[in-house]
Structure 1
């Protein structure tokens, strides 16, 4: 996977340069910079083209690898528990930092009032629990594939992968080998698309800055700084601490290995597009078994969104402070619950996140200022994606150690090696 080590060694630098140049071009050209928007659109469309088939075959492969293991149920519950816990802690950290640094206090809205809009008010409805459960079960899997319904695809592919694992060995192995071959082909396609990542990032930044201008950027600049601080704490303190406590892997080695996937995540702003690079890092450099990585990482790319959870919590605090709204304990609880559920439901593809609307509405915070965030949405998206895939990898490392210590797993290993 991604054999071009030279590209991987420089892609982070290329993306940063592309962002800076795109920002400069957007500032100089203004609305005319929208002429570069197709570069970003082409890049995003190519990424989205590969997302659905990649996650489908990767989950089938992972579920098939785990399905015949006695550890499958434990792995599933532990993975979901990890994702839910880390998302909730992420929101709590965001609320704490928002109250300490107060990014929304004293914000000067002069010159950007025209960006205020209530057009997104109808996008904030969260479905009930049973509606969510029913919504995860596809009635027509081909329709789910066509509509890119990630959660429905996830459910079907998990079920199908486990079913494959229950077949006789002579019937099962050729099918699983075929699925793995498709994964390899998808990885090759991702590698090719990644070569134009800097061009895509340049087009996206030039268009965003040219459309919104520096005045809009400066309004949310303090929010952005606090957000980056929370991301750094979570990615370089919290996750390495969990690695130290719950696994045998060195946190220093973990952070060193994750530089490559994080660079790809920054350029694509897509957990799904980064999936093959994250899998390579976990399997080849962190020692995670393929069956564990193929299950945990695609699942994480779909539902593990700690970076999004931090974003939701900080945005809620930002607008509450900007509109001088005092939040009580019930509002904080509403933000934590809604942000955690919203993060789980956020698909791992790039684009503006309207789930923040639900978070704001749950705490009674006005949403008219939401368009203010769109000027920096691409940068927010890139940074939170880098944290998301770091959390996926941390979970895979921890779950892999947990499975390795399982006596039943050790017995299975002896049978397979005999």
Structure 2
């Protein structure tokens, strides 16, 4: 009996990245000269990310806003508010965790990188304003993510009044860009192999401690949000013990999402969980798909922690108002995170631009994100997806419908 073609499946992307990671370590230990040459794979991967990320931000956000029809009645105000509050709270948790357990990375930064550091919140806001009004062509060429975000929001709002064909074309363009991003991310195993091999050949095994530390901060912040932050929000809304609901959502939704690494793929699981919880179908049938798109607590933590790791590495001083502004930017960026594995790390340059960090350095941080993403992305998805059901149920219970 001949085996069917489906009997030989390619290993998952996660497994491929793990293989690339291990292969890079082995090559660096056994053949350092070859490991330095293998760094070309990492350079190509980071360059590909640099090429596609600005266009992704512009098109994805514009299409998302444009395709929300005017006058659409969703009656989901309370749930949307919880999504926003939860994502912002997660960004604040990420900032706090970074202050308590500062992380450093090994980055190839120019010698005068720290000279671009902002002097305080006033300078940050001035820089922010100038970036917002930048020419869109310049914004694309210079990877000015703040400017791209502003143009995306403006175009999206304007195109909400466009015809169905125009909005459908913009949606198709968004899907096309997302497909290209997926193709680039398929290069992640080779990219991680090259990055790790070259890094360890230059810095030795001590470099792995940096990755382990930042991974622990990321996962620790996500666990804190899941087990402390979300329960506090639910308790404030429902005036009930939040843990039966929170723990059930983590068990029935979070565990599945951890292994699928896709909030979108976990939508059917969340729908079934909402049905078992006795929630109203007309509410959760809209709220759950919406949450899979904009409720991104885990992504907000990833963006804030990795951005502050870069800031710490470059010895850039950050005052409290600027840290709070970072939380807002991280939360907004998280809501626009691409629906592909590792999509949140592509928004890191948006946050790094607040601190005058060049796009070349920011993209190195993105590369670090893909290295730790073997675990981080799974934990992020588990938090994001389980929180969708937690907040829908909390809003229903608060209105006495649970």
Tell me which interval the TM-score lies in, with the shorter structure as reference length. 0.5 to 0.7
Aligned partner of 1:60 in structure 2 is 62
Alignment of 1:208 onto 2:199: yes
| Whole-angstrom CA distance in 2 between matches of 1:12 and 1:299 | 23
Q: What is the Cα deviation at residue 212 of structure 1?
A: 0.9
Change (3 A) 1:157 1:41: same
Contact persistence 1:60–1:161 (CA under 8 A): yes
| Whole-angstrom CA distance in 2 between matches of 1:198 and 1:318 | 25
1:175 to 166, 170, 177: 166
Alignment of 1:227 onto 2:217: yes
Aligned partner of 1:143 in structure 2 is 138
Q: What is the Cα deviation at residue 377 of structure 1?
A: 7.5
Aligned partner of 1:90 in structure 2 is 94
Aligned partner of 2:337 in structure 1 is none
Report the TM-score when normalising by structure 1.
0.60
Alignment of 1:158 onto 2:160: no
Matches within 5 A, 1:16-415: 16-68=18-70, 69=72, 80-95=84-99, 98=101, 119-125=112-118, 128=122, 130-131=125-126, 133-135=128-130, 137-167=132-162, 172-217=163-208, 220=210, 223-224=213-214, 226-227=216-217, 230-231=220-221, 233-234=223-224, 237=227, 250-259=249-258, 262=261, 278=263, 280-281=264-265, 286=270, 297=293, 305-310=300-305, 337=324, 340=327, 343=330, 348-349=345-346, 379-380=371-372
CA RMSD of aligned residues (A): 5.3
| Whole-angstrom CA distance in 2 between matches of 1:406 and 1:58 | 33
Q: Which runs of 5+ in 1 are unaligned?
A: 105-111, 263-276, 321-330, 360-372, 408-418
| Whole-angstrom CA distance in 2 between matches of 1:390 and 1:139 | 37
Report the TM-score when normalising by structure 2.
0.62
Q: What is the Cα deviation at residue 159 of structure 1?
A: 2.3
1:258-295 per-residue CA deviation (whole Å, 9 max, x = no partner) reads 33664xxxxxxxxxxxxxx55x3365654587899689
SS at match of 1:148: coil
| Whole-angstrom CA distance in 1 between matches of 2:353 and 2:155 | 33
- Report the number of matched residues: 347
| Whole-angstrom CA distance in 2 between matches of 1:116 and 1:181 | 37
Contact persistence 1:40–1:200 (CA under 8 A): yes
Q: What is the Cα deviation at residue 339 of structure 1?
A: 6.0
Q: Which runs of 5+ in 2 are unaligned?
A: 1-5, 235-241, 272-283, 334-343, 357-364
| Whole-angstrom CA distance in 2 between matches of 1:179 and 1:13 | 34
Change (3 A) 1:383 1:375: same
Q: What is the Cα deviation at residue 204 of structure 1?
A: 1.3
| Whole-angstrom CA distance in 2 between matches of 1:73 and 1:144 | 35
Change (3 A) 1:344 1:374: closer
Q: What is the Cα deviation at residue 36 of structure 1?
A: 0.7
Contact persistence 2:145–2:353 (CA under 8 A): no
Once the two structures are overlaid, the 10-residue window that deviates more, 42-51 or 203-212, is 42-51
